[in-house]
Structure 1
């Protein structure tokens, strides 16, 4: 579930947005109001985590979550490989968003255009009266997630440039996302494309980094 949420950019995963079947112990995600990266791009406190893997979730899944191994890593690796093998079918399903964009995307698209206009980075082909470019941009993000795009660099290039509500210094944001010097995540910062094992390692490391969790919105309950 967490890996699928990352691929589709589903955010706002606070504790009430994950249900647990008490008979099978299966986790079920609900409420997909923030998808395709909008939780990082437009929420007042941007989400820097790729999915929810807080201490409580990690403790329930496996005693110690390690980027180099463990049940979480192995499960996510198999899930990512399965999604990559079937990405054509997945992308075909998502084409519906090109023909019938969700209502919120009209607002998000306009906000992105206005933010880029203020920053002086507005591409000539972007028009706040036309929505066709916005869903295509979001589907391209999904495709890059599927094809091993470096999660850190994708978050920086696609989303954080537009969000100045928490930190106006993009260099500081990038340092937080990259992690501490010497960490496995830090060593991948200059690699544009990652293999599946590297990608999962990077995502788990990012999702469990106390420095990132500590900058989450309090209602997201990063301590739980």
Structure 2
């Protein structure tokens, strides 16, 4: 649904930034992103242990090397009045419900109680921590940080809770 595929190169780009800056962790079932079996199967026989992991590690390494430029670009979002930084609990629940239905329901006015600049500053600080290698309060290598992200994204305990048809008795 939220993936753009270049028909000439087969390059895949995620185009839904609605839960960027760890807003996916605000959902009822918090996940950094969903790395389901269907997505992993599409990666071929190596799954997450092949090109995917190497690309993640290389990307994170390049981002760490250029973190000052990246943070400068992200800092512009703090002053953008059109970007909504806060994901209210109501909006989070609605987004999680809509993710399977591909609905575009707007909940205008539900985020008025959230202060955008504080949320933006928090998000910017968290991005800086990630670029410095801090994950879960611990300093991690590029490999360790990618490993943790992948483990969180494929955790069956989280993924099964997100599947609407899940029945523990099956």
TM-score norm. by structure 1 comes to 0.55
Does residue 27 of structure 1 match 2:9? Answer: no
Give the CA deviation at 1:77: 0.8
Q: Distance in 2 between matches of 1:129 and 1:212?
A: 27
- Structural mapping, 1:43-122, within 5 Å: 43=27, 45-48=28-31, 50-65=32-47, 69-105=49-85, 108=88
TM-score norm. by structure 2 comes to 0.71
Secondary structure in structure 1 of the residue aligned to 2:146: helix
Specify the alignment match of 1:207 in structure 2: 153
- Contact between 1:18 and 1:27, CA under 8 Å: does it hold in 2? yes
Secondary structure in structure 2 of the residue aligned to 1:28: strand
- Contact between 1:62 and 1:72, CA under 8 Å: does it hold in 2? no
Unaligned runs of 5+ in 2: 92-112, 166-170
Structure 1's 103 and 27: CA in aligned 2 closer, same or farther, altered over 3 A?
closer
- Contact between 1:101 and 1:135, CA under 8 Å: does it hold in 2? no
Unaligned runs of 5+ in 1: 1-15, 112-127, 154-190, 220-224
Q: Distance in 2 between matches of 1:206 and 1:94?
A: 24
Give the CA deviation at 1:131: 4.1
Give the CA deviation at 1:101: 4.3
Structure 1's 192 and 102: CA in aligned 2 closer, same or farther, altered over 3 A?
farther
Specify the alignment match of 1:136 in structure 2: 121
User: For each residue in 1:55-85, what CA deviation from the matched residue of structure 2 results, as whole angstroms up to 9, or x when unmatched?
Assistant: 122112131435xx42221111111100111
Q: How many residues align structurally?
A: 143
Q: Distance in 2 between matches of 1:35 and 1:147?
A: 18
User: For each residue in 1:90-133, what CA deviation from the matched residue of structure 2 results, as whole angstroms up to 9, or x when unmatched?
Assistant: 1000111222244533674xx9xxxxxxxxxxxxxxxx685432
RMSD of aligned Cα (Å):
2.7
- Contact between 1:18 and 1:29, CA under 8 Å: does it hold in 2? yes
